[in-house]
Structure 1
Amino acid sequence: MLWESIIIALEGLKANKMRSILTMLGIIIGVGAVIAMVSIGMGVQNKIQDSIAGLGSNLLIITPGATSPSGVRLAAGSNTTLTNKDAQAIGRQIEGVSAVAPSVSKQYQLVYGNKNWMTTVQGTTPEFVSVRNFNVELGRFFSNQEVETRMRVAVLGKTTADNLFGTIYPVGQTVRINSAPFVVVGVFEGKGQSAGGMDQDDVVVIPLTTAQERMMGISYIQTISVQAVSPESINQAQEDITSLLRSRHKLAKDMPDDFTVRNLAAVMATAEETTKTITLLLGNIAAISLLVGGIGIMNIMLVSVTERTREIGIRKALGATYRNILLQFLIEAIVIGVTGGLIGIGLGIAAAYAISAIAGWNTAISSGSILMAFGFSVAIGLFFGIYPARKAALLDPIDALRYE
């Protein structure tokens, strides 16, 4: 009986092709829209996660200046409150810290031959590579000895290297940074854009002491990047660093911090929560069209019941029970939902790939969204098919046979 009902339902769809297509259109669009919208939301979520993770794992960023409810408050001299000795103290005294990389940065023009390129020049220490998840593709990174002796060596980001050297092998070449000659000792692997749209490969890294004393003429630190031992220890490390710096800067209990410690793990958690909410919102908006499709199924099933009143009467006269008639019309409604859902899955996947290819957006198709959309389409067909099926099953056989 079940298989017969499925065959009858499919024959009914084939007999009224245009009506069947229009009925399924709401389900097709709904399922496709849910998959496409959720894939966009998950693509954004993955991009943000990758961008934040690309900055470094278990990362704490320490910057000078106190925070206030209205933002960063830069009091007199508060932008020079961090020193290299603070960074060294953090590395020595905080147990939950695996690496510390102090840094300073400034925009400079680089010149090689007849080419020039304006970029960010960052002075730091060898720990920078592990703390900030950079990998050297060509050559090497500079050593602690080169930091101590203020050597003029540089490691280029991929964008900077490509714009200055093109097809020329950059390692061993000499570039001028603000008119001072630097030997290129390495080139980083490409990292792409950050969450804020900044090109992480448009950078030049030089020894910290070289940047401070030979380039900028400063003795303070602009940023200290700290890598915690594990995700579990990052909050404790943040508290210990805050206590240590307050003690080193001789701040009384009633005085605010003259520095800011940002926990990127907390930033990532907040970003994940936000993008999940956005993905859920997009999915719910798209799911509205599924409800519209369900109403279309109910409408066409009611029309089908009216058209087939005599057929129902004949079936009942030949012995069909309430359950047989109910099952037949329910299966027809479910077949519409299943067929529309399968077509919608194909449309949604194609739309996600098209959006990624044409608009350049990150999309991530998940099996969970496909199963959810398909299950919802089947449930919609079942829910909105119950009333017409029940109406057909309750028809009096004598009245149905008299129906014209």
Structure 2
Amino acid sequence: MFLIYLRRELRRRKKAALVISMGLALGIALVITVNSVSAGMSAAQGKVLESLYGLGTDMTVTKAQTATAASSGAPKFDFDAQSNSSSKKQSSDNVRVQGFQSLASSVVTKVSQQTGVASAVGGLSLNVTKVDGSFTQGQAKSTTGNSGGGQQGGQGGGNSTAQPQVQGGGANFSVNSYTVFGTDVSNLDLGPLTTSKITSGRTFKSTETNAKVAVVDSAYAKTKKYKVGSTVTISGTKFTIIGIATADSGSSTANLYIPLKQAQTLADSKNKVTTIYVKATDSKKISAVKATIQKNISGTTVTTSSDLASTVSGSLSTASNLATSVGKWLSIAVLIAAFLVAALLTSSAVSRRVREFGTLKALGWKSGRVTRQVMGEAFVNGLLGGALGIALGLAGAYTVTAISPTLSASLGSTSSGGGGQGGPGGGGPGQQTASKAIDIALTAPVSVNTIALAVALAVLGGLIAGTFGGWRASRLRPADALRRVE
């Protein structure tokens, strides 16, 4: 009887049911769209952090560079003096550890042994400044000329020699600066190289721990016209290029990647690393792992993804703030309005059905049964609104993904004074970790949790409307209801 009457009343009042359902649907659709865009923002922000950290990296361990150490590492070049006058080619490489003070390789082992750490791998970030060019020695030449008029009573005029002057000579040099990252080839599943894909050639083999091989970033390879099989010379050591890597985020961590031992040899930093990449056993316990490392390994700076998330700037940051703050409150406001509209429309419908409910009460229906009937109708309207809202929300999320607006982002530094960032290629204290912008296409993925939230909101909206309308219906007295005329 309940279901038969429910179906009959919903058919009889199609327009009213559709209006109530559409009001709920718009609110639910907005919630789905905003949640999906927010999820897309988080994913985009994750890509920005991965471009610095490396895929799968939860935190990095570094040691901030002191002011004394930073000031003493200025580039210095020595050239041999040449006594001949011919043009002489000169070349010199200055290899410096970049960004941080070095940590002993044994610290990597200590970090990997900490509670909550799944794996840890070290890397050495270098900056190479190469100076190429030539000196041309000038020639000292003197000129001889007539001295002019003679002396009175003496000898006549003659020739005199002028002071010698240097003519010609000079220097022509070019400076090329690039970054090199020493990679632990025995564990390529962690670190900055994981954000790049090998598009030509191959990556390192686990046996090439001390081999003279290199992987080159595709953008740098294009600039220098490198290809697989080419050789690149770093401070007198020739490396064979075995692979070309293309960064997923559009910008790589380093121009060249070489085995860690080779990088340590070039920088005269045996058994030293600048950055330790850490993967936690549980992503929900990253803060606890960070505290453990800082407690047990003094003098280190542990930086997590959440520490850097607040430094992401650009249009991505603006859109993220808009989605999380304005979007959230707008969704709440629209939902409240939708629930109120549904409740008011249900209450209004009850007011127009006083004769109907009065007759039912006169026939023996209890107030509770009338209330359940009204709540049942409102509940169905809520489910219908939820279905329409999910459809509209999915359409909105699909539209955002199809358009894929491009957002720009850059990662600034959170360090000051003694702090330092955890990414390779970072500057010293007070400097930016990543100075280049990254363009990311925005998507709006819809998760199962978002759909579940939409269904819950639809049920809640129906219950609120039904409770309010049922309360109105239960207060009707049969005698008063039968006296009223619609």
Partner of 1:3: 3
Distance 2:308 2:279 in 1: 17
Structure 1: gaps spanning 5 or more residues? 67-73, 109-117, 244-259
Residue of 10, 22, 25 corresponding to 2:22 = 25
1:34 aligns with 2:31: yes
Contact preservation (8 Å) 1:102, 1:224: yes
* 1:20-75 residue CA offsets vs partner (Å, 9 max, x unmatched): 43332321111111111112222333444464473553542425435xxxxxxx45
Residue of 381, 389, 402 corresponding to 2:462 = 381
Partner of 1:242: 298
Partner of 2:122: 100
Identity %: 23
Instruction: Report the Cα offset of residue 133 of structure 1.
Output: 5.5
The correspondence of residues 269-288 of structure 1 with structure 2, limited to 5 A, is 282-283=327-328, 285-288=330-333
**Compared CA separation, residues 4 and 91, structure 1 to 2 (3 A):** closer
- Higher RCO, 1 vs 2 (CA within 8 Å, ≥6 residues apart): 1
Q: Partner letter of residue 11 of structure 2?
A: E
1:397 aligns with 2:478: yes
Contact preservation (8 Å) 2:209, 2:261: no
Distance 1:206 1:122 in 2: 7
Give the TM-score normalised by structure 2: 0.59
Contact preservation (8 Å) 2:123, 2:181: no
Contact preservation (8 Å) 1:36, 1:349: yes
Residue of 105, 109, 134 corresponding to 2:193 = 134
Residue of 77, 80, 90 corresponding to 2:70 = 77
Contact preservation (8 Å) 1:106, 1:122: yes
Contact preservation (8 Å) 1:102, 1:221: no
Residue of 347, 363, 366 corresponding to 2:447 = 366
Residue of 274, 281, 288 corresponding to 1:224 = 274
**Compared CA separation, residues 203 and 55, structure 1 to 2 (3 A):** farther
Partner of 2:256: 204
The correspondence of residues 304-315 of structure 1 with structure 2, limited to 5 A, is 304-315=349-360
Distance 1:44 1:306 in 2: 46
Partner of 1:297: 342
CA RMSD of aligned residues (A): 4.5
Partner of 2:374: 329
* 1:79-109 residue CA offsets vs partner (Å, 9 max, x unmatched): 759666x43453577673853221113699x
Contact preservation (8 Å) 1:104, 1:221: no
Contact preservation (8 Å) 1:121, 1:203: yes
Q: Partner letter of residue 351 of structure 2?
A: T
**Compared CA separation, residues 140 and 335, structure 1 to 2 (3 A):** closer
Distance 1:289 1:124 in 2: 54
Contact preservation (8 Å) 2:121, 2:191: no
Distance 1:228 1:102 in 2: 15
Distance 1:224 1:373 in 2: 48
Instruction: Report the Cα offset of residue 378 of structure 1.
Output: 1.6
Distance 1:261 1:139 in 2: 34
Partner of 2:303: 263
Partner of 1:114: none
Q: In structure 2, the residue corresponding to 1:242 is in which secondary structure?
A: coil
Distance 2:475 2:108 in 1: 80
Give the TM-score normalised by structure 1: 0.69
Contact preservation (8 Å) 2:215, 2:257: yes
Partner of 2:241: 184
Distance 1:93 1:322 in 2: 72
Partner of 2:426: none
Partner of 2:389: 344
Q: In structure 1, the residue corresponding to 2:127 is in which secondary structure?
A: strand
Instruction: Report the Cα offset of residue 200 of structure 1.
Output: 3.1
- Bigger strand fraction: 2
Contact preservation (8 Å) 1:63, 1:223: no
Q: In structure 2, the residue corresponding to 1:145 is in which secondary structure?
A: coil
Distance 1:107 1:289 in 2: 58
- Bigger helix fraction: 1
For the pair shown, the structure with the greater C-alpha radius of gyration is: 2
Distance 2:210 2:275 in 1: 21
* 1:226-250 residue CA offsets vs partner (Å, 9 max, x unmatched): 145855766544445435xxxxxxx
**Compared CA separation, residues 280 and 377, structure 1 to 2 (3 A):** farther
Contact preservation (8 Å) 2:44, 2:442: no
